[in-house]
Structure 1
Amino acid sequence: MMTFSPLAVGLLSGRFRRGRKPPKNSFWSPDAKRKRFKTVMTRKVDQIIETLVKAGKELDKTPAQVAFGWILDHPEITAAITGPDKPEHVEEVCGSLGWALPT
């Protein structure tokens, strides 16, 4: 089984939050896609992101690393298809390796 867009086009990175405008250079920028951002960024989604943020602080990891850690913790998932936009995004994903989520 493969995951596609495991960070939900960046939403699970913790960089986008309900009630805040997405940066202009992002996929969720305040142009025509802004309406889509408001539709997708529900209270429930923001609560999930907040959980990732809190877990990341406890584990000294970023929310994205926690999300990828969850994926890597599931042996039925054999690949995570991701498309980093910047070199630092690749480094962040690599920070998901070599540790496991506490049970």
Structure 2
Amino acid sequence: MKRFLWAALLATAIAPITAEAGPIDQACMASNQKQKSWALCRCIQDVANQTLSRADQRRAAKFFQDPHKAQEIRQSDSRTHEKFWLRYKEFGAAASATCK
């Protein structure tokens, strides 16, 4: 019984930490930026959670590996890309204002 209680306690203690990592946070931490910071990446992910859908987050996370993808989407004639870009700009502005 004690083992079960310890396992349950450990699971609840670890679950919030592992569940918080989202696509933006993971891409941020994996990027080769010299000044990457866990706190900054976490803040950016928090803003993404408030402003972008999960699908938008996955799309935006790809910009960390290939910044040119952002330019392609920004210049695209696709209505879907145009709507995404507007949401992404709002996310960027909110992240810039929040995560210093």
User: Which of the two has higher C-alpha Rg?
Assistant: 2
Q: Same fold (TM over 0.5)?
A: no
Query: TM-score, normalization: structure 2?
Result: 0.27
More helix by share: 2
Structure with the larger RCO, 1 or 2 (CA within 8 Å, 6+ apart): 1
Query: TM-score, normalization: structure 1?
Result: 0.27
